[in-house]
Amino acid sequence: MPSIRLPCVLLGTLGLLAFIAPASAVAAAEATLAVGSLELTACGTRDAYCGYLPRPLDPLGQAPGTVSVYFEFYPHRGAGDATGVLVASEGGPGYPTTDSRDEYLALFDALRSARDVVLMDYRGTGRSGAVDCTRLQRDRVLTIASIGACGVELGRKAPLYSTAYAADDLAAILEALKAGPVDLYGDSYGTFFAQVFAVRHGEKLRTLVLDGAYPLLGKDIPWEGNYAPAMRNKFDRACERSPTCRATPGSSIEHITPALKELRKRPFNATATDADGQVQHFTANAGTLATVMFGSAPAYATLRETDAAAQAFLAGDRLPLLRLMAEASAAVDSRDPTKDPVKFSEGLAAAINCQDAPQVFDMRLSPDARRAQRDRAFAERRRAFPDSFAPFTLDEYRAMPLDYTFIEQCVGWPVADAAHPASHVVPDDATFPPVPVLVISGEFDNMTPMADGAAAAAQFPHARHQIIANGFHVNAMPHARSPCGGDIVRAFIADPADDAAAASGARCANEAPPPRLAPPFVRGYARAEPATATGANRAGAAGLKIAGATVATLGDLLPRLAANASGRGVGLRGGRFTVTEGKNGVLNARFEKLRWADDLSVSGTLAWAPHAGEALARVHVHVRGKAGVGGRLSVRWPEGTADARARIEGRIGGQRLLAEAPAP
């Protein structure tokens, strides 16, 4: 089970003793709300009411103590009793569900007139007693030793953060709220949680949605057999759909492999800046390239640029590929910059991965015996399946961070006691309930691949598997590339038997435009692909080259805006930008002297809605070393459409420029 990553202020505590009938929400006082047998307290934000439900840390009673499980309740907005309850389960593991409340509430918004919403922080996350393993949470990088030390630190508690017990916590909360059957949505690790809940508490489900899913059961799960084929498919299919990329003979993996071979022969210490302009120090080698291609972090930048950056690397221009390595190295660390376990608990992630996930070694063995078994298993894998992670070797795959390789991170984890055996979160002969199930997969998702989604759907007797064309990881949330995933989920929850809505959603899912891949990287603007003159253009060949390089500079900026967390960053070869988010998800950027090519600087503003609407940039461009060569341009293009074209207008060197180019 991969550990896939990317709060309400509580003003009071939960009263547990009064039973209130009927089960529908009844306002008890301005600051409280009686629901089922619980009295909840206003959170002080949005329209939420919050509570804690004490739960035994060990349901079997062998370890003492309790855990107070935090949850938020959002009453339906219409009059009368609620007709249902919507529940969301967060990815990770390690993130608190309530930190993503805005996205879940946006996903559910059209359904909230008659449905309540419940969000629960899993035990060991957020406000539900966040696990804080001192060394693991704060070490610069994860190691087998620090993960094992976390297990020792947790001691008898280590197996008690299992997804199974978290699923039981949710069932207890729903029971206390007198809620159900519920519509349960899970994304990424949340799909694992949701499937465990379905097996253990299927009677509480009305519908189930798994967005970015992997199966609970199946062969070869510990070896992640679908990952490498999905990664290769992602790069090759995106290249086939890009006029720029497919102009180079061969597949995208064939374009990238020569750079991989060079990194194998001549690894080196490197320094580059990430999407936030922070300097990263790393070793440029095959394992770091594997992190870029498997880690998919940032997803848009890695897919858009790796092919072109690998070709530039071979031609002597190392910077584009090194920047991707720096960005991936920063993005794959899920921990909050402050290392706050309430924001993300690395210890909880380790506890779940080591307790619940199937492994390539027997978790009942001692760590030393496991290491020996691991080494034998790796040797056999190299012999029998040498291309399991092609174009990378097994050892190059293992060089990625442990929370992305997974296959050996738990080798040093302590042995669980016999009452709480590892890797048995559900029995091998588990029965999956006959509820309506929707599984959504992104075509370009190599973390929870389409094949994994199909296997997850096959576990249920009444499941539908919907693939989102050109989609990445998790496709129903507001940040997804296409609105289709969210529309499909809402229609399914409203009426899972509506075949017409399902057919309409399937058509929409096939219409998402392919990502626009990067043009060849160049050091000088004169080598850029020129814009195409239109109408009354008076600018000459040099002006059209400048216009083409300007559009490429904007295209290089876009992934940095989408992945930015600090509000500022730097250009490929110089310059700076700032970014803020406006209404309706529009990103507003200001930039000064951005240089995608060494000899062309671009300054100005950009308003960009990443997935829909018209983008507008107003820029001043200048050619270095040539006094007076430059001008002012406006660049407009539509998002959310295939084969989008940018319109470029303005003056270069005093001459009127009217042109168009592929959208950045």
**pLDDT tens for residues 174-222?**
999 999 899 999 999 999 999 999 999 999 999 999 999 999 998 889 9
The more confident residue out of 30 and 606 is: 606
Alpha helix segments (H runs only) across 276-409:
286-295, 299-314, 319-331, 346-356, 367-384, 394-398, 402-405
Taking every pair of Cα atoms in the chain, the longest distance, rounded to a whole number of angstroms, is: 83
Please check whether residue 115 is in contact with residue 77, taking contact to mean a CB–CB distance below 8 angstroms: no
| 87-137: pLDDT as tens digits | 999 999 999 999 999 999 999 999 999 999 999 999 999 999 999 999 999
- Checking if the pLDDT of 20 tops 80, the result is no
| 491-523: pLDDT as tens digits | 999 999 999 999 999 999 999 899 999 999 999
- Checking if the pLDDT of 144 tops 70, the result is yes
Mean pLDDT throughout 404-423?
Answer: 93
Phi-psi region of 150 (alpha: psi -120 to 50; beta: other; left: phi over 0): alpha
User: Which tokens belong to 95?
Assistant: 């993130």
| Predicted confidence band of residue 335 (pLDDT cuts 50, 70, 90) | confident
Q: How confident is the model at residue 30, as a pLDDT?
A: 60
Q: How confident is the model at residue 585, as a pLDDT?
A: 85
651/543 Cα distance (integer angstroms) = 9
> Lowest-confidence range among 24-38, 309-323, 452-466?
24-38
Please check whether residue 275 is in contact with residue 330, taking contact to mean a CB–CB distance below 8 angstroms: yes
Closest CA to 593 of 616, 612, 619: 619
Q: How confident is the model at residue 45, as a pLDDT?
A: 73
| β-sheet with 645-652: strand ranges across | 532-533, 655-662, 645-652, 630-639, 613-623, 600-608, 587-594, 576-581, 568-570
The pTM score is 0.93
Q: Residue 167: what residue type?
A: A
| 247-295: pLDDT as tens digits | 999 999 999 999 999 999 999 999 999 988 899 999 999 999 999 999 9
| Predicted confidence band of residue 230 (pLDDT cuts 50, 70, 90) | very high
* Structural domains for the chain: 78-220+426-509 (3.40.50.1820), 525-662 (no CATH)
| Helix (H) or strand (E) segment spanning residue 186 | strand 182-187
What DSSP string runs through 225-276?
A: TTHHHHHHHHHHHHHHT-HHHHTSSS-HHHHHHHHHHHHHHS-EEEEEE-TT
Helix 227-240 to helix 252-265 angle, to the nearest 10 degrees? 120
- Residue % of the chain over a pLDDT of 70: 95
- Checking if the pLDDT of 27 tops 60, the result is no
Q: Which residue in this structure is represented by tokens 């899920």?
A: 334
| Predicted confidence band of residue 332 (pLDDT cuts 50, 70, 90) | confident
200/196 Cα distance (integer angstroms) = 6
Average pLDDT, the chain: 92
Q: How confident is the model at residue 5, as a pLDDT?
A: 42
- Checking if the pLDDT of 624 tops 70, the result is yes
| Predicted confidence band of residue 632 (pLDDT cuts 50, 70, 90) | very high
- Checking if the pLDDT of 22 tops 70, the result is no
Burial (CB count <10 Å: 0-12, 13-18, 19+), residue 22: exposed
- Checking if the pLDDT of 81 tops 80, the result is yes
| 351-395: pLDDT as tens digits | 999 999 999 999 999 999 999 999 999 999 999 999 999 999 999
